[in-house]
Structure 1
Amino acid sequence: MEVLRTHGVEVAYERVGSGPLVLLVHGSACDSRIWRPQLDALADDLTVVAWDQPGAGRSSDPPPGFTLSDYAACLADLVDHLALGPAHVVGHSWGSTLALELYRQAPEQVATLVLVDAYAGWKGSLPASEVRARVERTRAMLAAPPAENVELPGVFAGEPPAEFAELVRRLAADVRRGPMADQLTAMAEADLGGMLGSIDVPTLLLWGELDARSPLTVARRMEAAIPGARLVTFAGAGHTLNLERPAELNDAVREFVHAHPG
């Protein structure tokens, strides 16, 4: 694990392998550990970097009021720090919104986008009533006694895969509630729908057909809005493809990166 100090925070990240840079950006209520199947499988011919966003994992907490732009600025500084050229950015869920904001801020740092069960922000992808309901549910969860794990509903199509059940439990137990509350605000207010048509790098959308958190209607709108985007769906999978279909996701990422060297 390495650490970058930027924007008043310490950003921890794991780096393995060699080759084109693949930057893994995790979703909400987790950290870089959720990418273990990708770190293990992709490092044979790719440089794979998985960060812990500020307020998660081994990174330090951000100051109160940290915004989507602030998170993405830290991500941009990490790409600069790695000095491996533009990154193939793989963002999952909330991490896909960060990937889009990174592209908006610094398109020269992005070689391709792989958006997994993604959002253009909650405001940019979901009805206002659904955003309000999610905010209320999540705030109630964050206000629960500390002994109760923070677990988002509908993350898997069914139960977590048995081999990752303990990992999922540990991730839920390690959520830091203060930073997540600020992240919730950033996610609820984010609307990047208007910039999708300006994306000018190859873009791959990977989606679980049974995704209850970011349903296929969101995927199809993003496919229509992003020039040249390609949507690949996975039968029987939900919102967390990298754990539910790790081998297939790994193959899709590797093939896409090598087909678009940047």
Structure 2
Amino acid sequence: MKQQGQFPLPPFSIYGITVHYELYNYEPNSNKTTFVLIHGFLSSTFSYRRLIPLLAQHGAVVALDLPPFGKSDKSKDFTYSYRNMANIVVSLVEHLHLSNIILVGHSMGGQIALYISKQRPDLVDKTVLICSSGYLPKSHFSLVYSSYLPFFYLYIKNWLVRSGVLKNLLNVIHDRSLIDDEMMQGYAAPFFDERIFHALTRMIRDREGDLPSCELQQIEIPSLLIWGEEDKVVPISVGKRLHSDLKNSRFISYEKAGHLLPEEKPQHVYENIVEFAGISEAQ
């Protein structure tokens, strides 16, 4: 299997920023299924570390760090809208000449996958939404206004420091026994770069609201929704509402599972995706 790191990856830049991405089992100009993994808010490709080797048995996998997260640039000038982030994913897919695309989006990444599905249905075969965000409005005017204050980034930094990586993980993972030093270090690492707090300030200002029901109902791409029944971040009621609005969708949920399903239930999620994709596990 060709893994990221066995060959040099050409840099990918768009909108004046460099985007970190990883490739697995990739062959140029191949017609194999390609899984495009989009992570959630305050996360990175690290959140898919358990799912990637499973999916790579059945096709190419590309995972990217959405700016300003992970190893991607943390610009203060980039417009951090969902539309721009969707355009980054689309541009990377086209840059790599990928085809037979199955989008996999977790949390915020699910909303970006929905934006892509709406904007470029010609590019996507199927979409998998894992505890996807949904129906969130644009940031309140007062918060947007505050983001223009010179030292607002320090407020964000202090809020994240007070929360701490352990507290955040306890909020997204139902089975606390899964939390170990490797997990804590992996999710904390991107925040050692001071620039991310400036970028998050800009993100608060730029983020549109999630797609409304009237636009979701226009999406015809087959969708699979996978949820944790103990999700404290995006309650299962949001998943059921998305299922209702996405007319060509299926819904699966797991008991005793929280928001970070790629970490908690990687084998189950993998089996759901492979079955949904119509790929035999023997392949």
> More deviation in 9-18 or 204-213?
9-18
- The 3-state SS of whatever aligns with 1:108 is coil
Alpha carbons 2:15, 2:78 under 8 Å: kept: no
Matched, 1:30 2:30: no
1:166 CA displacement: 2.2
Following superposition of structure 1 onto structure 2, how do residues 1-262 of structure 1 map, counting pairs within 5 Å?
A: 2=9, 3-18=11-26, 19-62=32-75, 63-123=77-137, 142-144=156-158, 149=164, 152=168, 154-159=171-176, 161-162=178-179, 165-175=181-191, 176-187=196-207, 189-258=209-278
Which of these two proteins has the greater Rg computed from alpha carbons? 2
Q: 1:73 to 1:210 in 2, by over 3 A?
A: same
Q: 1:208 to 1:140 in 2, by over 3 A?
A: farther
- Aligned counterparts of 2:155 and 2:47: Cα–Cα separation in 1: 21
- Aligned counterparts of 1:67 and 1:184: Cα–Cα separation in 2: 9
1:247 CA displacement: 0.7
Identical amino acids, percent of aligned pairs: 24
Amino acid at match of 1:42: L
Superposition CA RMSD, Å: 3.0
Q: 1:255 to 1:145 in 2, by over 3 A?
A: closer
TM-score, structure 2 normalization: 0.78
- Aligned counterparts of 1:158 and 1:185: Cα–Cα separation in 2: 34
> More deviation in 202-211 or 168-177?
168-177
Alpha carbons 1:156, 1:238 under 8 Å: kept: yes
Gaps of 5+ in 1: none
Amino acid at match of 1:17: N
1:216 CA displacement: 1.2
1:84 CA displacement: 2.0
TM-score, structure 1 normalization: 0.84
Amino acid at match of 2:62: V
Amino acid at match of 1:53: L
